[in-house]
Structure 1
Amino acid sequence: MPLTETDAKCQGFQKISDCGDSSGLHGIRYVKDNDMNLILIHVYDVKGHIGGISAAVPKIKIPHLQSGITSTHWTKGKCFPTMGLHYWYNVRKNMSCDEFYPMFLLYNDGKLNAFGWGFIADLNSSRLEHPSHAAISAFINPPPVCLFNSGTLSTMHIYLSNNPALNRC
């Protein structure tokens, strides 16, 4: 993911709106290859540094330290080397997929090192992964039964470090 507006332009991202335009959204927003299926928009501040990624989900507490997660509804998943220890929001074996929160957290050495999106939809983008039903059990614990009956899971990881290959949980 580009960390500056200059990097975004060099990597082929296109500006779709600007600060103060009529969209009512904040920041300078870019997308890659007009890929609006993902609905993730890169947001940059006035100095050209990444300010966040925009997506429409309800606000939920995200602890920076793994030790702060015990007072939340984040459910400990499993460690996946090069990714980190996964946490999914309030997952339960017999939950309805209507309750599935489309975001997950990843911790490495007790610190938040990444987050990601997990959508129950077959989204077509080269930046998305589509884990098989067998692979879902490798990072969600317990895996909700509804995920095995609802089609494809499309996931995207956003790392907060320069070298995710070093993540060992």
Structure 2
Amino acid sequence: MSRSQIQGGGQRDAKGIDGLVLSRRPPRPDLEESPRPQGDKRRFLINQLVSRITPPRMKMRLLAFAIISIAIAKSGAFMFSEEVVKMRCFIIITLCFINTFISGYVVDWYPSDEPEWNDLRVKWDVNIFNPYTFAKMPRTTSDAVSAGFKMVSDCGAIPGIYGKRYVQGGDYSLILLYGIHGYIAGIQIGVTKNATVEFPPNKQINHPFVSVDNMYYLTAYFTNPATICTTGRTAEKFASDGTGDSLFIQNGTDAAKNSFVVPKEETYLDSTKWTKGHCFVSMGEHYWYNVTSDMNCDDFFPVFLLYNKGRLNAFGWALGTPMTSNRTEHPPSSVIKEFINPVPQCLLNKAQLSTMHIYLTSTPLENLC
């Protein structure tokens, strides 16, 4: 698969996205002059209590979780009964609305002052209490060291792969890349070479799986890879751009020469071979590269894109091989149809798929497509 075949447009822009905030309703003139009734003190105390339990962004997360939980219960995939899920959801939603109506807050939308890509989180799981679910990744080398990550290679150590590479606990399914100044620059997944497992397919070796020693690496960069180990990103750029300014997927042995830029705007995909899949709440609208029902899995490109409100804010890996890391997901073949359209029949014959959702924002549960 050549760079020109898969290039998705590459247009860059720095438009922000709408963010959820809370604003006061206008005061009622008829209450301005009247003394505060004794009951207001009780309402004030209740409001303070619920406000502490459910801060603004948490309200949306809990509400999204309630919707997701009911959907999963109806699909039969949850471990406890639909009645239990509904009761928990009722409690969550009640807490949200009590605070909303007692305090007089209403939902409002306006462009956020934060960078569009304001975070980096990894892995989707139905169990949001699993410590690996939506796990927050360190975006500076100092935070990486504090979180137990260790540098396994420095800038320039591996020709064609750019950045200081950090791994936690020897788990090469998640490798974080940082620029020369210590700011997040990319992410990798590594697959161990195994003589008994025919993966990746021969035609995908070195594009996109780059062979290095005993591993194959699939790599994404959040800024131009050619600058990561030279000028790098400054503190000011990190503050203004957040996790990054563009998404580059390495599709050759040298990322500076063999990468393509993923469009930030969903509409730009219309003229490409990216195929629209399905919306999944807490993930987004899925896109897969040039999938057909009768395709050969040797041609299945192992990257998917996720758009919400028309903007790229997540992506992920989809590998047709078993991986044992806690960082990876293993969707059964019965649910593949929820993400891909059409479903390549060859995927249904795989013993196990290994996927990883990578979020570029702090609120995956607000991804409603």
TM-score, normalising length: structure 1: 0.92
**1:7-18 superposed matches below 5 A:** 7-18=143-154
Is residue 77 of structure 1 aligned with residue 211 of structure 2?
no
Kindly tell me: are residues 148 and 80 of structure 1, through their superposed partners in 2, closer, same or farther at Cα, counting changes over 3 Å?
same
1:110 is matched with which residue: 310, 324, 336? 310
**1:7-156 superposed matches below 5 A:** 7-21=143-157, 23-24=158-159, 25-36=161-172, 38=173, 40-54=174-188, 55=218, 58=251, 59-156=259-356
| Cα separation, 2, equivalents of 1:2 and 1:73 | 33
Aligned-pair RMSD on alpha carbons? Answer: 1.5
- Identity score, percent: 49
Structure 2 counterpart SS, 1:51: strand
| Cα separation, 1, equivalents of 2:292 and 2:146 | 42
**What amino acid maps onto 1:114 in structure 2?**
A
**What amino acid maps onto 1:31 in structure 2?**
V
**What amino acid maps onto 1:139 in structure 2?**
F
| Cα separation, 2, equivalents of 1:116 and 1:73 | 17
Residues 78 and 140 in structure 1, CA contact (< 8 A), matched pair in contact too: yes
Unaligned runs of 5+ in 1: none
- 1:91-131 per-position Cα deviation (integer Å, ceiling 9, x unaligned): 11110000010000000000001010000001111011000
Instruction: Compare the two structures and name the one with the higher strand fraction.
Output: 1
Residues 43 and 53 in structure 1, CA contact (< 8 A), matched pair in contact too: yes
Is residue 166 of structure 1 aligned with residue 366 of structure 2?
yes
Structure 2 counterpart SS, 1:15: strand
**What amino acid maps onto 2:185 in structure 1?**
G
Instruction: Compare the two structures and name the one with the higher helix fraction.
Output: 2
Equivalenced residues, count: 166
Q: Runs of 4+ in structure 1 displaced over 4 angstroms?
A: none
**What amino acid maps onto 2:282 in structure 1?**
T
| Cα separation, 2, equivalents of 1:66 and 1:132 | 28
Larger mean CA deviation between 1-10 and 94-103 belongs to: 1-10
TM-score, normalising length: structure 2: 0.43
Larger gyration radius, structure 1 or structure 2: 2
